[in-house]
Copies of this chain bind each other. A is one copy, B any other.
Amino acid sequence: MDFTFSEEQLMSAGVVRDLLADRCTGADLRRLMGSGEARDAGRWQAILDMGLPGLMVPEAAGGLGLSETDLVLIAEACGYAALPEPLIEHAGVGAPLLAAINHPAAKALAEKAAGGEITVALGHPANLLIADADTAGVILIPGQDGLHLVDPAKATLHRHDSIDAFRRLFSVVFTESTVVAGPREMVPLLEVALDRGALFAAAQGLGLAQRAVDMAAAYAKERVQFGKPIGANQAVKHHLATCQTKIEFARPVVHAAAAQIGQGDVFSRSRVSHAKLAALAAADLAVRMCIQIHGAMGYSWEVDAHFYLKRTIALTGAWGDEAFHRARVAERIAAAAMTPDQTFARADAAPAEQVAA
């Protein structure tokens, strides 16, 4: 039982955080939006240079062979910066999914995906549309007959606008494709993808929440009304303390979900769902409070709060909406006893009674 991150994990996340603090500021976001381009080429290259796209791809497939626990803090950092590029969906969901497919057409692309030369977009029943399909090198789309590998260049993409301008969502129509996994193989692949998608949405939610609190606290220290900084008012303090508390009790759930996701049982699924619910609820409250504390400023385009607000709205509905994740928590409650020794329950664990015998 060790609920701490390694030095390496903390350090990698710190490097990403520093990179994004430097290259993913509000001004950077506005410039990218103005350009109409999908990615900031320089920032994306810097991300590729860190080897992040292949972080969760097995070493045999050209990746770093690391796990969700190694990516979760990085995902927080990306949420903190509201990163536009699809690093997390690619590195956390698409690339490892592609690498897990036992089919030559997939194998042929897995190394490129690991290196970040191409990104992988995924159609998933939990999502209405396919994110970043236009910039992807390959799109995976489930069908009745299995998982289709689609070349974006040979498909028809129709963009749907999200309130978050950096979300590039598409409906995809295709005629040419390769079925790379049969219906039965596809199911577990999609299950794992959903859990990962939800986990990393949660992690980004944590980052968004903390960013909103930090931004509001910074403003509250500076903005003077009635002759004192507004942050000296208990109302402002207590709003932010409530937000910070929500963050503090979402964070360990997200981290535990990352560590337990591999169990793939009712307990780990419930934990992932709890993580997503708690982290996005924290983000929801924090971004609203951030806007509120900024007053009319907070409601203006000029202040960055709306970027965090919109990303929060998007991630709340992505990779399983609230009702979906609450249902998974309800399943766990119904599935087995919840005595206090069951915090880290696993479906395959010997009951404690047997250990005692």
- Chain A contacts to B: CB under 8 angstroms: 233-235, 238
7 interchain pairs, CB-CB under 8 A: A233-B234, A234-B234, A234-B235, A234-B238, A235-B235, A235-B238, A238-B238
Q: Which residues of B contact A234 (CB under 8 A)?
A: 233-235, 238
In chain B, what residue has the closest Cβ to A236?
Answer: B234
Q: Which 3 A-B pairs have the closest CB atoms?
A: A234-B234, A234-B235, A233-B234
Residues of B within 8 Å of A233, CB to CB, are 234
Q: How far is the CB of A200 from chain B (nearest CB, A)?
A: 36
- In the assembled complex, the Cα of A118 lies from the Cα of B233 at a distance in Å of 57
Q: How many copies, total? A: 2
With a cutoff of 8 Å between Cβ atoms, the chain B residues found around residue A238 in the complex are: 234-235, 238
Closest Cβ neighbor of A238 among chain B residues:
B235
Q: State the Cβ distance, A238 to closest chain B Cβ, in Å.
A: 6
CB of A220 to closest CB in B, whole Å: 13
A238 to B234 alpha-carbon distance, docked (Å): 9
Measured in the bound complex, the distance between the Cα atoms of B235 and A233 in whole Å is 9
Complex CA gap A99/B235 in Å reads 54
Give CA–CA (A235, B233) in the complex, Å: 9
What residue in chain B is nearest A234 (Cβ atoms)?
B234
Closest to A233 in B: B234
A208 to chain B, nearest CB (A): 26
**Cα distance A233–B234 when bound, in Å?**
7
Expressed in whole angstroms, the Cα–Cα distance for A235 and B234 within the complex equals 6
Give the complex CA separation of A238 and B235 in angstroms: 8
Q: Min CB distance, A54 to chain B, in Å?
A: 50
- In Å, the complex CA distance between A233 and B238 comes to 12
Q: Write the nearest CB–CB distance from A212 to chain B, whole angstroms.
A: 21
Distance A235 CA – B241 CA, assembled complex (angstroms): 12
Taking CB as reference atom, which chain B residue is nearest A235? B234
Find the residue from A233, A234, A238 having the highest chain B CB count within 10 A. Answer: A234
Assembled-state Cα–Cα distance A153/B233 (Å):
63
For A235, the chain B residues whose CB sits under 8 A away are 234-235, 238
A292, chain B: closest CB distance, angstroms: 13
Instruction: Determine the distance from Cα of A215 to Cα of B171 in the docked complex, in whole angstroms.
Output: 60
In whole angstroms, what is the CA distance A238 to B237 when docked? Answer: 12
A238 to B238 CA separation, bound complex (whole angstroms): 10
Name the residue of chain B whose CB is nearest to the CB of A239: B238
Please report the C-alpha to C-alpha distance between residue A234 and residue B235 in the assembled complex, in whole angstroms.
6
Q: Could you tell me the distance between the alpha carbons of A234 and B238 in the complex, rounded to whole angstroms?
A: 9
A234–B233 Cα gap in the complex (Å)?
A: 7
Whose C-beta in chain B lies nearest to the C-beta of A232? B234
Q: What is the bound-complex CA distance between A215 and B269, given in angstroms?
A: 48
Distance between A237 CB and nearest chain B CB, rounded to angstroms: 8
Interchain CA distance A233-B236 in the complex, whole Å: 12
Q: How far is the CA of A350 from the CA of B310 in the complex (A)?
A: 46
Q: How far does the alpha carbon of A235 sit from the alpha carbon of B242 in the complex, in Å?
A: 12
Shortest C-beta distance, A235 to chain B (Å), equals 5
Assembled-state Cα–Cα distance A235/B237 (Å):
9
A277 smallest CB distance to B (angstroms): 23
| Shortest Cβ distance from residue A311 to the other chain B in the assembled complex, whole angstroms | 29
Closest Cβ–Cβ distance, residue A189 to chain B (whole Å): 41
Smallest Cβ distance from A227 to chain B, in angstroms? 15
